[in-house]
Structure 1
Amino acid sequence: MCLLFLALRAHPDYPLVVAANRDEFFARPTEPSQFWTEYPDLLAGRDLQSGGTWMGISRSGRFAALTNHRDPSRIKSSAPSRGALVADFLTGSNTPAAYEQKLAATAHLHNGFNLLFGSAQNMRYFANTGAPPCELEAGVYGLSNDMLDTPWPKVVRGKSRLAEAMHALPTTEWLFDLLQDDRIAADSDLPRTGVSLEWERLLSAAFVRSADYGTRSCTVLLLAADGTVTWEERRFTRAATDGGISRFSFSLKSQHTAKS
């Protein structure tokens, strides 16, 4: 995944609001969001090439999402799947604090990643690229392919718009509009991440468009204070046209899981 916005305990009626884009090669096989057959309490899409996922939530309120850290010079071809980290937390029973310790022991084996994991009561951030792990305070956050809240143009714009939405009642349509912003940043505002200028321009948009690589799906998650979860995933074709929609609404089994 390449872009995520998170509002954590920033709205009185919605302790967790997430809006995220998955950018990927269109040829990479993927399953849409669904409850997994082998883990019926887990709702997530699935990367069929490596078997992991980029974002998901469980019926007990466990949440996790991952973005890659963009640095082509440090890619290890033999590294294990980063998406497996998301699935591992969501299907496990470790508290966020315990899972952070587990990550610290094995994170160096993976290519660069950022991982958000926990629950609406206790959300943590872990990266294997130098940023210190931390528990997130209430607020609005943005995460792309660098550190948490790195001020890339699309991160700054999206955070500002999400913070604005917290003054009203957030709706899925409003959040999807945020995610489908395809404005390209000015060259002077582009990061330098080791890819060509053409790719820096392309990837500077929240919604990425190209023939072989782009935004495959936009996903919105709303967790209400009463424990009701609303999840909607909108998928896109190579031409950025409608590729299908998956919608789910359910109540958490418990709002006290993954608290410490």
Structure 2
Amino acid sequence: MCIVLLTTSHPKYALIALDNRDEYILRPTSRPHWWTTQAETHPSASPSAKPVNIDVLSSRDLQRAEHGTWLGITKGGNFAVLTNYRETDTHNAAHPVHGKRSRGGMVTAWLGADPQESVESFVGRLVKGGDVKGVGGFSLICGKLRKAKGTKKLQPLAILSNRHEHMDHVPWICGERGSVYGLSNATYVAPGDEDEDTLWPKIRQGSEMLARAVADASEAGASEDELVETLFKILDNDNFPSNHTMDLEEGIPLLKHSIFIPAFGGKEHQKEMKEAREKGKINLSDKDATAAELLLAGRPDDSANGFQTGLYGTQRQTVILVDWEGNVSYKERSLWDANGNAIPRGQGDMTFNFQIEGWDSEEGTPAEKL
């Protein structure tokens, strides 16, 4: 199951974010790219307001019609990353495992929000208005990557969940320096909370590894490339059993113990993977052909639990660095091609560098000022 780790501890970077997307390896997914969407019109906007186009950087899920994503960032600094909530009661109608609406649509909803809308307004609309109904359980970290005016702090990010009934229940993170945060497929637990004993082992281990890696890199004056490789090693930390042919039902309870999930599954899933590989390897350098292959591979999510074809494991890894000038380094590592062939580490990497527009602006109100 997915993991997100974030820290504000490195002196050079306002934010460092790490993410493993754990998914069915064959789930059709695009490579990361810039795409454009028309901003949602905020209810308070003037009727004469002209539509605004927003440039978004993300990979996209091609399995569902919404073509949502699990992680993305806009040129204006809207940032979001999502994890599913692991439902233990699969018969709870109020919290379906697989909703009618895509969880990935929650990410693109924030990425495509009116640039003038604050994080608090967006989160409040979803909590109060019931816009998260009909979506499978999720936690969404979202916010505007902005330097808080007159400080060397980042404006806080919210963690929205469709478990929240009121804005008072929404945690805010990353507004203080020197902190490490972790989120997986359970309720978010803040560092130092009395519920910290409920932390999944992978969150505890990942947070400790990230804190140590940042401290060591800062002390040694490590280059950005050296730091990024160290961060990818954290995402590669594997505590999963060596038996990769166990059934999914047997393996799911073990996912909370390992940051990296090697591809695993029972006989039927192994067979599906073999059949996919027999189609050949995808040329990752031909992005247009890759996208076409992925689109052809899709099918409607018409089963109760959605796409469940082939082996399950860590499909994509992402490292994001944001420095104090608002410069973003975004690197995504693909570990598998569309037909389930393993990609050697580094050969599936794509890196994007850009500067956030409005990094020093006061657009949006930091949560601590409310």
Q: TM-score range by the shorter chain?
A: 0.7 to 0.9
Q: Could you tell me which of 77, 82, 85 is aligned with 2:103?
A: 82
Task: Measure, in 2, the Cα distance between the counterparts of 1:248 and 1:77.
Answer: 32
CA offsets, 1:16-55, max 9 Å, x none? 1100000111221101111114466211110011210101
Q: Output the TM-score relative to the length of structure 1.
A: 0.87
Q: Deviations over 1:78-98 (max 9, x none)?
A: 421111111110121221100
Q: Quick one: structure 1 residues 178 and 23, their matched pair in 2 at CA, closer, same or farther if it must change by over 3 Å?
A: same
Task: Check if 1:184 corresponds to 2:240.
Answer: yes
Q: In structure 1, what is the Cα distance between the partners aligned to 2:99 and 2:331?
A: 34
8 Å contact kept, 1:33–1:246: yes
Report which of the two structures shows the higher radius of gyration computed on alpha carbons: 2
- Structure 2 match to 1:108: 133
Q: Are residues 1:117 and 2:131 paired?
A: no
Range moving further from structure 2, 55-64 or 241-250: 241-250
Structure 1 79/63 Cα, relative in aligned 2: closer, same or farther at 3 Å?
A: same
Task: Using the TM superposition, give the Cα deviation of residue 198 of structure 1 relative to its aligned residue in structure 2, in angstroms.
Answer: 2.9
- Tell me if 1:146 matches 2:183: no
Q: Is it true that 1:49 corresponds to 2:78 in the alignment?
A: no
Counterpart CA distance in 2 for 1:135 and 1:40 is: 25
What amino acid maps onto 2:170 in structure 1? P
Partner of 2:20: 21
Q: Say whether the 8 Å CA contact 2:83–2:140 is kept in structure 1.
A: yes
Greater shift after overlay, 226-235 or 69-78? 69-78
How does 1:92-103 map onto structure 2 within 5 Å? 92-93=113-114, 94-103=117-126
Structure 1 residue runs of 5 or longer lacking an equivalent are 186-194
1:58 CA displacement: 1.1
- The structure 1 residue matched to 2:263, chosen from 198, 205, 210, is 210
- 1:157-191 deviations in whole A, cap 9, x for unaligned? 10011112332347110110000111138xxxxxx
Higher strand share: 1
Contact persistence 1:229–1:250 (CA under 8 A):
yes
Alpha-carbon distance between aligned partners in 1 of 2:210 and 2:98, rounded to the nearest angstrom: 36
Q: Which digits, 9 at most, give the CA deviation of each residue in 1:53-81, with x for residues without a partner?
A: 10111111111110000115143544211
Aligned-residue offset at 1:239: 5.9
Structure 2: tracts of 5 or more residues without a match: 38-52, 146-153, 190-197, 219-223, 242-247, 265-310
User: 2: CA distance between counterparts of 1:253 and 1:140?
Assistant: 26
Matched to 1:141, the amino acid is Y
CA separation of 1:30 and 1:258: change in aligned 2, threshold 3 A: farther
CA–CA separation in structure 1 for the residues paired with 2:136 and 2:13: 33
Report SS of the residue matched to 1:30.
coil
| Larger CA deviation: 153-162 vs 125-134 | 125-134
| Change in CA separation of 1:258 and 1:58 when aligned onto 2, cut-off 3 Å | farther
Amino acid at match of 2:204: V
- Structure-2 change in CA distance of 1:160 and 1:239 (3 Å): farther
Change (3 A) 1:178 1:153: same
CA RMSD of aligned residues (A): 2.2
- TM-score of the aligned structures, taking structure 2 as reference length: 0.63
Paired with 1:239 and 1:179, the residues of 2 have a C-alpha distance of 20
